[in-house]
Amino acid sequence: MSRIYNFSAGPAVLPEEVLKTAADEMLDFKDSGMSVMEMSHRGKEFKEIIETAEADLRELMNIPDNYKVLFLQGGASLQFAMIPLNLMIQNKKADYIHTGQWTKKAISEAKKYGTVNVIATSEADNYTYIPEPDPASFSKDADYFYIASNNTIYGTRYTDIPDTGDVPLVADMSSNILSEPVDVKKFGVIFAGAQKNIGPAGLTIVIIRDDLIGKAPDNTPSMLNYATHANAGSMYNTPPCYAIYIAGLVFKWIKGKGGMETIKKNNIEKAQILYDYIDSSALFKSPVKKKDRSLMNVPFVCGDKELDAKFIEEASKLGLKSLKGHRTVGGMRASIYNAMPLSGVKTLVAFMQEFEKNNT
Ligand SMILES: *Cc1c(COP(=O)(O)O)cnc(C)c1O
């Protein structure tokens, strides 16, 4: 068996230890005689899986008691609609910072429910930075304020979280949840599709403050109402059981590494090696403003489409996979989520050096 270095933006690399545990437990989960995929979600084994996963996530992110953790389906994309459906209620308006394709989709969903104020955007510069709007421009009567904390396609991340006062801050953390500590108290809602930095596709995690639950109109479909899931402990219907199980193993893995501070340190180390090389290179360039560079997704270009294609092809032959940039950005993108080992980044940089030597 040989494993590649997988730089995919998502679904993405998972820790090898987690996959091995899952393999060991595949046919017989802890003497139950069943796979986790085969057991009742109401049985005692699964109850323990979901409760432990939630407790570990709460511990890792230091989630206060007045927040619910929901294990949902529908991807981050369903949250683009559930957020306005559940929260754009009182004044039917919200502020959005527009930083790429994912906020574009979120904005277009929100417009179906009320007024969207796009208070800042980096669209004119192909989303290569995070705009810093004047707080005086924030709507005092917005029902919420929306950001994407890490922009997977463009490789930007917020280093300063906007202070929105009493207006609940909603963050799409799909591609950087659990990559560094966050102060959950600053947010009304945090959501993330699992397939970037948590586990398999099919699970979406929503962390929501209690007072934001229960505002949805009466004709809201039950499945789209946060109250339904909060009241049922994410067991209103069958949850994505196996994805929750793997997510739970990933949370244990992070705890075993030493928790969020260690994970952040590791992520900074990995990202630094890559950015330092790119900045010193005569061939490769990062399009992203330094201050706003993501720790998770690192786009870079040669500035020549043919050379980019050659790089991606040669890298792939060496087992450095899925380095092609998003079709709207071109070039390359290395996604270096928590589960990407340091050796993967070092191997990538060594190949980049070699490629630069041979092609300049
Ligand atoms: C991948 C991604 C999404 C879309 O997630 P789905 O689970 O496919 O709906 C949304 N936002 C961000 C920031 C992402 O990286």
**Residue 5 included in any domain:** no
* Residue that finishes a domain, picked among 224, 257, 290: 257
Q: For 224-245, how does the pLDDT look when each residue is reduced to its tens digit (9 = 90+)?
A: 999 999 999 999 999 999 999 9
CA atoms within 13 A on the CB side of 54: 18
Residue 352 scores a pLDDT above 70: yes
296: Cβ contacts below 8 Å, ≥ 6 apart: 150, 152, 157, 175, 176, 179, 196, 197, 267, 271, 335, 336, 337
Domain boundary among 201, 228, 257: 257
Mean pLDDT estimate for the chain: 97
* Number of residues in the chain: 360
Same domain, 205 and 270: no
pLDDT band at 272, cuts 50/70/90?
Answer: very high
The token pair that represents 353 in the structure block:
């050096």
- Of the pLDDT bands very low, low, confident and very high (cuts 50, 70, 90), residue 182 is very high
Answer yes or no: is the C-beta of 196 below 6 A from any ligand 1 atom: yes
Q: Residue 267: pLDDT above 80?
A: yes
Q: How far apart are CA 297 and CA 331, in angstroms?
A: 13
Residue 196 appears among annotated catalytic residues: yes
Atom 5, ligand 1: which residue's CA is nearest?
A: 76
Which one, of 138, 262, 126, 263, lies nearest residue 197 by Cα?
Answer: 263
Helix (H) or strand (E) holding 130: none
Residues 204, 287, single domain; the answer is no
Residue spans of alpha helices (H) in the chain: 16-24, 44-61, 75-87, 101-110, 226-231, 241-257, 260-280, 305-317, 342-359
Atom of ligand 1 nearest to the CA of 195: 7
pLDDT at 1: 65
Q: Residue 2: is its pLDDT beyond 90?
A: no
State whether the beta carbon of 333 lies less than 6 angstroms from ligand 1: no
Q: Which atom of ligand 1 is nearest to the CA of 78?
A: 9
102 CB within 6 A, ligand 1: yes
Distance separating alpha carbons of residues 289 and 72, to the nearest angstrom? 34
**Domain membership of residue 197 as a residue range:** 16-257
Closest residue CA from atom 10 of ligand 1: 76
The distance in angstroms from the start CA to the end CA of the chain is 36
The reply to whether 172 belongs to the active site is: yes
Catalytic residue among 56, 68, 93, 102: 102
Mean local confidence (pLDDT), 275-297: 97
Q: Which atom of ligand 1 is nearest to the CA of 153?
A: 15
Place 316 in a pLDDT band, splitting at 50, 70 and 90: very high
Average pLDDT rounded to a whole number, residues 153-165: 97
CB of residue 10 inside a 6 A radius of ligand 1: yes
**193 within ligand 1 shell (Cβ under 6 A):** yes
164-177 tens-digit pLDDT: 999 999 999 999 99
Of all residues in the chain, the percent with pLDDT exceeding 90 is 98
Q: What domain count does the chain have?
A: 2
Closest CA to 153 of 329, 295, 331: 329
How close is the Cα of 75 to the center of ligand 1, in Å? 7
Identify the pLDDT of residue 303. Answer: 87
Would you say residue 202 lies in a domain?
yes
3 state SS of 303 = coil
Q: What is the mean pLDDT of residues 317-326?
A: 97
Do 210 and 229 lie in one domain? The reply is: yes
Judgement on whether residues 105 and 222 belong to the same structural domain of the protein: yes
The percent of residues above 70 in pLDDT, for the chain, comes to 100
Atom of ligand 1 nearest to the CA of 201: 7
Residue closest via CA to ligand 1's atom 13 equals 174
Contact between 216 and 222 (Cβ < 8 Å): no
Q: State the pLDDT confidence band at 277, using cuts at 50, 70 and 90.
A: very high
Measured between alpha carbons, how far is residue 45 from residues 95, 198, 242, 338, 354 in Å?
43, 21, 12, 28, 51
The average pLDDT across 63-90 equals 98
In a domain, 25, yes or no: yes
Distance from the CA of 127 to the center of ligand 1, in angstroms?
16
* Residue 238 domain-assigned (yes or no): yes
- 102 noted as active-site residue: yes
Residue 112: the pLDDT is: 98
pTM to 2 decimal places: 0.98
Q: Per-residue pLDDT tens for 89-134? A: 999 999 999 999 999 999 999 999 999 999 999 999 999 999 999 9
